[in-house]
């Protein structure tokens, strides 16, 4: 049995529902679970607003030291840090599971995942690179940006329940317990940079470069899209799943807040894909879910008097730089 | 066939003693060249070629832009391109000047017959933490070691060199926060962007300080072996010339010290003290006196307190 899951807090449930709907349309045989990094009982989401998908709340998967993780991480870090713990839960607790696929909530699956399931018969891991071909300009993001954040995008990873994958998940969980930070100078970028090690420490890792897999703002330079009768294609191949990272339906003119390479005017080929996504998010109550703040995350402390602080720090910083 | 294969290295004039030891470790029938990056070359040896001599328009910019370590790193694909395109060598093996061949180089020549590009990972197994460093230290410095790579003449290889040259033209600094570790971090892309790439996990290749914790060296029946399974082919002594005491245990436990002594004995034939050479570990963990370390920690703690007063916010690394 193949299981697919996503991870989010209540504020991203419109995205998770959209992903779930797409899987139900294209891959009804795949069991889909939303891993919820939040508490429904505390948030008091009315029953009619709960997604019509299996929900598995973080506190129910048996992470020892969860409290410590929550104190240590912000919302992005926590949502990514728990990924291997969910993989471990599915491998250990759901006996029929043979494959587990993770999708970021802001993904839509457009086609049956037959090829992926075939690959998982032969491989223990399937990953997708951010870029399959070089990118020559130095706009954002460019090749340099993925060198300290990870060459594979962890919005998608598929694992076969095998000794190699189980060993990987165990290692990954250990790492992410306290090193799922964004700290580029020290080699850390959430769960993603660690996965650079996957093809090195383990064997049987497949890296899929099909342009229809995990197409997203970071690889638009090598992918040109078209739509015909509701079917989306990329470089004349079907779009398998598109990753709408950094897109906000409240700002429909922006492809992603994380990129400055393309606008919709330059890339009209993207309009159909994004119009569909926007309509799906609105239908799935995006504005409603966005109001919820995550139970696990305390608000970031606000430090006032920044200028005074900078002034006071200056002599010490100068001294430190001289050492 | 051997003459179609070239081994080359790149260094400064001051580092030439390393290349003499490297040259001595090579079989006599293999071509060996040394790229020199100094602006004013002061040696005349038929095996050396100066960066200035390369017929490429980018060279002057490289020399103006970079410090010594970055310039050595950035010039590697320019030399490689020259050897493949102008000199028409069929196969190139780049090694650091601090490399020493112990086993049969034919094993490498054999492998590169079947691939366009051959790389070695810096480590092959998860390990957590060792006196050398921890796993995350490899994440922002690179998966594959730039102290060795082998390439074969092909369009694919020329595309790789073109790509690498373009990046190293202006992005070969040592600035980990910006995703740059000289030429090495760029290699992370090579198995993804280019065809016919082998990542050779053979533990007998490229023994170095950063992978000693996973490799034990033994000598028996006239042969050096790693973990008693693989033949030891070559070692890179770049980070073993001087090292902190903390790493002494790793070196002793791996049985590596005897090879290191042989290497240093060879080196002293040419120079009494090893010339300085860039080491990523030393750059990350400079050897500083305890009082200086203490002072640094105190200053950092004052800066953090000013940033976060009056709230205590957990600061983690």
Q: What residues contact B180, with CB distance under 8 A and at least 6 apart?
A: A144, A147, B171, B172, B173, B174
Sign of the torsion angle spanned by Cα atoms A33, A37, A43, A49: negative
Give the one of B125, B292, B317 whose C-beta lies nearest to A323's C-beta. Answer: B292
Task: Decide if B178 and A303 are in contact by the 8 Å CB cutoff.
Answer: no
**Residue A125 near residue A195, CB atoms below 8 Å:** no
Classify residue B25: in a domain, yes or no: yes
Give the one of B139, B201, B306 whose C-beta lies nearest to A196's C-beta. Answer: B139
Compute the nearest-CA separation of B139 from chain A (Å): 5
Q: Report the chain B residue with the minimal C-alpha distance to residue A202.
A: B125
**Rounded CA separation B111/B100 (Å):** 19
Classify residue B280: in a domain, yes or no: yes
User: Could you count the other beta carbons within 10 Å of the beta carbon of residue A165?
Assistant: 25
The residues that bridge with A228 in the sheet, in sequence order, are A231
pLDDT at B288 (0 to 100)? 81
Task: Decide if B136 and A178 are in contact by the 8 Å CB cutoff.
Answer: no
Q: Where do runs of H (alpha helix) occur along chain A?
A: 13-26, 40-43, 66-72, 75-81, 83-93, 114-122, 143-147, 163-178, 198-201, 271-283, 286-290, 306-322
Mean pLDDT of chain A: 96
Task: Decide if A320 and B300 are in contact by the 8 Å CB cutoff.
Answer: yes
DSSP A91: H
Classify residue B270: in a domain, yes or no: yes
Classify residue B249: in a domain, yes or no: yes
Compute the nearest-CA separation of A222 from chain B (Å): 12
pLDDT digits (tens, 9 = 90+) for A9-45: 999 999 999 999 999 999 999 999 999 999 999 999 9
Domains along chain A? 2-322 (3.90.550.10)
**Rounded CA separation B65/B70 (Å):** 9
Q: Report the chain B residue with the minimal C-alpha distance to residue A182.
A: B317
Classify residue B78: in a domain, yes or no: yes
Task: Decide if B199 and A320 are in contact by the 8 Å CB cutoff.
Answer: no
Instruction: Please spell the DSSP secondary structure of B202-214, one letter per residue.
Output: -TTS-B-GGGGGG
Partners of B124 on chain A (C-beta within 8 Å) are: 200-201
Whole domain around residue B158: which residue ranges? 2-284
Partners of A171 on chain B (C-beta within 8 Å) are: 126
User: Could you give the number of structural domains in chain B?
Assistant: 1
* Strand B148-152, strand B117-119: pairing: antiparallel
Indicate if the pLDDT at residue A194 is higher than 90: yes
Packed helices B68-81 and B155-170: angle between N→C axes, nearest 10 degrees: 160
Q: Which of B180, B193, B289 to mutate to test the interface with A (most CBs of A within 10 A)?
A: B193
User: How big is the A-B interface in CB pairs under 8 Å?
Assistant: 117
pLDDT digits (tens, 9 = 90+) for A298-314: 777 777 888 999 999 99
Residues with pLDDT less than 70, chain B: 1-3, 41-42, 311-317
Classify residue B31: in a domain, yes or no: yes
Task: Decide if A144 and B180 are in contact by the 8 Å CB cutoff.
Answer: yes
* Strand B223-226, strand B230-231: pairing: antiparallel
**Residue A218 near residue A141, CB atoms below 8 Å:** yes
Task: Decide if B179 and A301 are in contact by the 8 Å CB cutoff.
Answer: no
Task: Decide if A323 and B171 are in contact by the 8 Å CB cutoff.
Answer: no
Instruction: Please spell the DSSP secondary structure of B86-126, one letter per residue.
Output: IS--SEEEEE-TTEEE-S-THHHHHHHTS-SEEE-BS--S-
Task: Decide if B299 and A323 are in contact by the 8 Å CB cutoff.
Answer: yes
Task: Decide if A200 and B121 are in contact by the 8 Å CB cutoff.
Answer: yes
pLDDT at B314 (0 to 100)? 45
Q: Is the peptide bond before B139 cis (omega within 30 degrees of 0)?
A: no
**Residue A13 near residue A51, CB atoms below 8 Å:** yes
pLDDT at A315 (0 to 100)? 94
Mean pLDDT of chain B: 93
Indicate if the pLDDT at residue A47 is higher than 70: yes
What DSSP element (H or E) covers A2?
A: strand A2-8
Q: Which two tokens stand for residue B254?
A: 């791996």
Partners of B280 on chain A (C-beta within 8 Å) are: none
**Residue A232 near residue A242, CB atoms below 8 Å:** yes
Task: Decide if A144 and B139 are in contact by the 8 Å CB cutoff.
Answer: no
pLDDT digits (tens, 9 = 90+) for B196-226: 999 999 999 999 999 999 999 999 989 999 9
Q: What residues contact B257, with CB distance under 8 A and at least 6 apart?
A: B251
The residues that bridge with B220 in the sheet, in sequence order, are B223
**Rounded CA separation A43/A56 (Å):** 15
Partners of A309 on chain B (C-beta within 8 Å) are: 306-307, 309
pLDDT at B1 (0 to 100)? 42
Tell me if ipTM is over 0.85.
yes
Classify residue B23: in a domain, yes or no: yes
Instruction: Give the domain CATH number at B53.
Output: 3.90.550.10
Q: Which of A131, A147, A206 to mutate to test the interface with B (most CBs of B within 10 A)?
A: A147
The C-alpha R_g of chain B, in whole angstroms, comes to: 20
The average pLDDT across A194-207 equals 98
Could you tell me the strand order of the sheet in which B48-50 lies? Answer: B48-50, B31-36, B5-11, B91-95, B148-152, B117-119, B197-199
Compute the nearest-CA separation of A6 from chain B (Å): 26
Compute the nearest-CA separation of B19 from chain A (Å): 30
Classify residue B300: in a domain, yes or no: no
pLDDT at B91 (0 to 100)? 97
């Amino acid at each position: 049995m193949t299981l697919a899951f996503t991870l989010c807090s209540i504020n991203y449930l419109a995205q998770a529902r959209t992903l779930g709907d797409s899987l139900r349309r294209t891959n009804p045989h795949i069991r889909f679970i939303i891993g919820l990094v939040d508490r429904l009982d505390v948030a008091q989401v009315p029953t009619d607003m709960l997604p019509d998908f299996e929900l598995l709340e973080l506190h129910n998967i048996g992470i020892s030291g969860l409290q410590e993780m929550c104190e240590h991480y912000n919302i992005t870090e926590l949502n990514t840090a728990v990924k291997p713990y969910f993989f471990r839960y599915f491998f250990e607790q759901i006996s029929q599971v043979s494959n587990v696929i993770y999708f970021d909530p802001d993904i839509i699956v457009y086609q049956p995942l037959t090829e992926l399931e075939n690959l998982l018969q032969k491989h223990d891991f399937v990953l997708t690179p951010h870029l399959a071909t070089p990118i020559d300009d130095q706009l954002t993001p460019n090749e340099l940006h993925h060198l300290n954040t990870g060459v594979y995008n962890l919005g998608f990873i598929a694992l076969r329940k095998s000794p190699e994958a189980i060993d990987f998940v165990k290692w990954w969980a250990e790492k992410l317990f306290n090193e799922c930070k964004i700290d580029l100078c020290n080699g850390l970028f959430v769960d993603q940079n660690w996965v650079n090690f996957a093809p090195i420490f383990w064997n049987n890792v497949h890296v899929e470069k099909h342009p229809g897999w995990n197409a997203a703002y970071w690889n638009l330079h090598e992918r040109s899209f078209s739509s015909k009768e509701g079917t989306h294609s990329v470089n004349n191949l079907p779009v398998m799943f598109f990753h709408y990272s950094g897109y906000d339906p409240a700002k429909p003119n922006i492809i992603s807040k994380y990129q400055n390479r393309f606008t919709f005017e330059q890339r009209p080929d993207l309009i159909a894909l994004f119009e569909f996504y926007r309509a799906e998010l609105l239908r799935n109550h995006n504005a409603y879910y966005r109001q919820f703040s995550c139970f696990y995350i305390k608000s970031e402390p606000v430090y006032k008097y920044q200028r005074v602080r900078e002034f006071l720090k200056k002599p010490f910083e100068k001294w430190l730089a001289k050492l | 066939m051997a003459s179609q294969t070239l081994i080359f290295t790149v260094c400064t004039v001051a580092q030439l003693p390393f290349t003499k030891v490297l040259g001595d470790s090579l079989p006599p029938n293999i071509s060996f060249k040394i790229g020199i990056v100094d602006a004013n070359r002061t040696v005349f040896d038929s095996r050396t070629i100066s960066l200035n001599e390369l017929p490429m328009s980018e060279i002057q910019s490289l020399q103006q832009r970079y410090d010594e370590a970055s310039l050595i790193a950035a010039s590697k694909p320019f030399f490689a391109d020259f050897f493949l395109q102008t000199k028409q060598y069929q196969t190139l093996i780049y090694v650091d000047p601090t490399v020493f061949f112990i086993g049969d180089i034919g094993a490498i020549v054999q492998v590169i017959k079947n691939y366009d590009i051959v790389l070695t990972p810096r480590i092959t197994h998860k390990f957590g933490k060792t006196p050398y460093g921890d796993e995350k230290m490899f994440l922002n410095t690179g998966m594959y070691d730039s102290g060795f790579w082998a390439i074969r003449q092909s369009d694919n290889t020329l595309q790789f060199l073109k790509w690498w040259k373009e990046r190293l033209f202006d992005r070969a600094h040592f600035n980990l926060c910006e995703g740059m570790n000289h030429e090495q971090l760029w290699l992370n892309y090579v198995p993804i962007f280019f065809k016919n790439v082998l990542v050779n996990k053979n533990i007998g290749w490229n023994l170095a300080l950063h992978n000693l914790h996973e490799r034990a060296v033994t000598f028996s029946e006239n042969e050096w072996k790693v973990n008693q399974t693989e033949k030891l082919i070559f070692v890179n002594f770049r980070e073993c010339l001087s090292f902190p005491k903390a790493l002494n245990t790793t070196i002793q436990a791996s049985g590596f010290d005897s090879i290191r002594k042989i290497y240093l004995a060879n080196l002293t034939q040419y120079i009494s003290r090893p010339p300085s050479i860039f080491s990523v570990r030393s750059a990350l963990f400079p050897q500083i006196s305890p009082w200086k370390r203490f002072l640094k920690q105190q200053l950092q703690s004052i800066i953090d307190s000013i940033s976060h007063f009056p709230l205590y916010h957990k600061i983690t690394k």
